[in-house]
A and B are shown apart, each in its own frame.
Chain A
């Protein structure tokens, strides 16, 4: 038997109509069609979803965790970017 590993796929499930597909995990599968069927058996066997997307993990470009200092930290003290300094007019609710 060939020892070649199947490629990895990221699985996204939409739990019901109108909601977004959410990342729920990954699996190994030989191709996209099989990946969807396997996702059906692995991730929706308890009726978790109405729609499945799969994406080759290799196709995802990700930010580098080592960049944390320059990439993420500078956002931490920019409180003025949050819309909390507005005076809301009276009678405006649910903001």
Chain B
């Protein structure tokens, strides 16, 4: 198996793992009890997906590392998640707008993988796609309500979009591991565009900025996530409960 397949599985797994970890930070802090539970459910969906992808990546890598070794014992330059998912949660509008952008990406990407020739990828993608469809429904609905809600919710949602938009380019930047990444931009915009428009949000002008998370070049925020997420396994190697 070539290394680009392993690289792709790592990207899928790390995106799900890091965003799942971020979403789990809302546990007990959600704006409403019902939203708190929804966020936790989605976080758990993502962590479940991460387990499947990282197990697959470990098998493809062939160095005997399992999902736990990959999740808990890699350093940040070895993580392959896009930068967007590691940014701090901010307010709930930022959390939701990020998910809207990411959930749409997951839907088009998982659909491509589910129909692909690689059976290992297709099986995980088909299962995850059903979850991603619901995640999208949840986040897109909230983006609509924030954008087209009160003056304050609109301001917060627009502010979130302004800060996040630049990070979406990384998703579609082709490289050796994923030479067709750019082909997803069109289908992604077809999902995201109408929702943002209906939410009366304005897509900001593009700037010459490309984040590098999927190449292992991360923001300063990932280290803090890993410090918290990996502490137990680092301090007590092999600990179980």
Contacts and interface: CB of A to CB of B under 8 A. Distances in A.
Contact of B34 (A1, A2, A28, A33): A28
Contacts, number: 29
Interface in B110-155: 137-138, 141, 145, 150, 152
B141 A45 contact: no
Nearest to A35: B34
A34 interface: yes
Interface residues of B, number: 13
Nearest to B92: A1
B145 A30 contact: yes
Interface in A1-37: 1-2, 6, 27-30, 33-34, 37
Interface in B24-51: 32-35, 37-38, 41
A42 interface: yes
A38 interface: yes
Nearest to B32: A28
Contact of B33 (A28, A30, A33, A34): A28
A41 interface: yes
B150 A2 contact: yes
Q: Which residue of A2, A30, A38 has the most chain B CB atoms within 10 A of its CB atom?
A: A38
Given A27-B34, A28-B34, A41 B41 contact: yes
A42 B32 CA distance: 12
A33 B141 CA distance: 9
Main secondary structure of the interface of B (DSSP, over half): helix
A63 to B, nearest CB: 28
A37 B33 contact: no
A38 B34 contact: yes
A82 to B, nearest CB: 43
B37 A41 contact: yes
A38 B138 CA distance: 9
Given A2-B150, A28-B33, A42-B34, A37 B141 contact: yes
A1 B37 CA distance: 20
A33 B38 CA distance: 14
Given A6-B32, A28-B32, A34 B37 contact: no
A38 B152 CA distance: 23
Contacts of A1: 152
B41 A34 contact: no
27 contacts: A1-B152, A2-B150, A6-B32, A27-B33, A27-B34, A28-B32, A28-B33, A28-B34, A29-B34, A30-B145, A33-B141, A34-B141, A34-B145, A37-B38, A37-B137, A37-B138, A37-B141, A38-B34, A38-B37, A38-B38, A41-B34, A41-B37, A41-B38, A41-B41, A42-B34, A42-B37, A45-B37
Given A1-B152, A34-B141, 16 more contacts: A2-B150, A6-B32, A27-B33, A28-B32, A29-B34, A34-B145, A38-B34, A38-B37, A38-B38, A41-B34, A41-B37, A41-B38, A41-B41, A42-B34, A42-B37, A45-B41
